[in-house]
C-alpha cells in the first residue's frame, strides 16, 4: 500500500517537470535537468517512506515517474494549443497568470 502512495506522490511531483521539459529544446541542459532533478527527491522519498529499494518497487515508481512527465507534457501542449498566453516553462505561474485574467 505504501508503494502506491509513494507512486502517486512521484507522479504528482513530476507533472511540473514534464511541463517544463516540453517547453525547452530537446537534449539541452534544461531538458536534462527537467528529467533528472526529481530523482534525488524520489530517493529521499524511498528512504523516508521505508519502502527502500526492493526490486518490485522499481517498475511501479518508474511508471509513475514517466506518467508524471508525460502528463505535464500533455498539459503544456493543451495550454499552448488552446491559445493561453503568456505561456512559460512554469506550470504554477501559467495557472496563476491565467486565473488573474
Q: How confident is the model over 11-29, as pLDDT tens digits?
A: 999 999 999 999 999 999 9
Contacts of residue 98, defined as CB under 8 A and 6 or more positions apart, other chains included, come to 84
Its pTM stands at 0.89
pLDDT value of position 57: 96
Res. 90: pLDDT tops 70: yes
* Helices and strands per DSSP (H, E), number in the chain: 5, 0
> What would the pLDDT profile of 35-72 be if each residue is shown by its tens digit?
999 999 999 999 999 999 999 999 999 999 999 999 99
Amino acid at each position: 500500500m505504501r508503494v502506491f502512495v509513494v507512486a502517486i506522490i512521484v507522479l504528482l511531483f513530476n507533472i511540473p517537470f514534464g511541463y517544463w521539459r516540453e517547453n525547452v529544446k530537446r537534449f539541452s541542459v534544461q531538458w536534462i535537468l527537467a528529467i533528472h532533478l526529481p530523482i534525488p527527491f524520489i530517493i529521499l522519498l524511498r528512504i523516508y517512506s521505508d519502502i527502500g529499494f526492493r526490486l518490485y518497487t522499481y517498475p511501479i515508481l518508474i511508471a509513475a515517474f514517466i506518467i508524471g512527465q508525460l502528463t505535464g507534457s500533455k498539459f503544456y501542449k493543451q495550454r499552448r494549443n488552446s491559445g493561453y498566453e503568456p505561456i512559460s516553462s512554469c506550470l504554477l505561474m501559467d495557472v496563476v497568470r491565467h486565473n488573474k485574467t
